[in-house]
Structure formats: C-alpha cells, structure tokens
C-alpha cells in the first residue's frame, strides 16, 4: 500500500485530513516541540480509532509537510564511550608464552 493510499483510507474512515489531525493535536496540546513520535501516535490511536500504521502515516504526513515543531537543542551529553582505535591498537596482538 502506498503512502497516498494510507492517507486516502484515513480520510475515508474518519472524514479528516492530516491537517485536520494536526490542528486537533495542537489545540489539545499534544503536539509541541518536545513531542515524541509514539506519544502522538498513541494519542491519535485513542482519539481517532486509527490503527498503528495509519497513525504513523499521519505523523509522516506532518513530517513531509513541515508541520512538526522544531525541537529545542539538546544539552551536550557526557560521553562514556571508548576512544577511537588507533593504528597500533588495530595491529594483531601476539601471544606471549
């Protein structure tokens, strides 16, 4: 099924377009700069009766149309990863007997 077919099926089932869902989510305070995908998807499933795939298609329509609010920049994270390997550390190690 194509993306367009998903959107057509959503409109046939609910009578609403992705823009209608967007306006409802903004009015309900569900859609903001820090909204996570699954928080919106879960809300839309409960609010509209859509299944998971169709709710994800609505989120994708938001993304494609530039309707997702820009998120605030994340604070710098402290990394605990190992340093990048060097050429010496990549060399095969010999066993000492």
Query: In this predicted structure, what is the pLDDT of residue 81?
Result: 58
Domain boundaries, the chain: 3-65
pLDDT digits (tens, 9 = 90+) for 36-87: 999 999 999 999 999 999 999 999 999 999 998 887 666 644 555 566 666 6
Query: In this predicted structure, what is the pLDDT of residue 77?
Result: 47
| Total-model pTM | 0.71
**How far apart are the two ends of the chain, measured CA to CA in Å?**
63
Question: Would you tell me how many other CB atoms lie within 10 Å of the CB of residue 41?
Answer: 18
Integer Cα distance of 50 and 32 in angstroms: 21
Integer Cα distance of 81 and 52 in angstroms: 35
CA 92 to chain centre: 42
The pLDDT-based confidence of 26 (bands split at 50, 70, 90) is very high
Query: In this predicted structure, what is the pLDDT of residue 38?
Result: 96
């Amino acid at each position: 099924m194509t993306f367009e077919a998903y959107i057509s099926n959503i409109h046939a089932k609910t009578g609403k377009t992705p823009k209608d869902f967007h306006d409802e989510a903004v009015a309900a305070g569900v859609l903001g700069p820090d909204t996570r995908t699954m928080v919106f998807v879960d809300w839309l499933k409960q609010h509209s009766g859509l299944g998971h795939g169709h709710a994800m298609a609505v989120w994708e329509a938001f993304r494609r149309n530039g309707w997702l609010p820009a998120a605030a920049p994340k604070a710098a994270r402290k990394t605990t990863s190992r340093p990048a390997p060097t050429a010496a550390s990549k060399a095969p190690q010999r066993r000492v007997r």
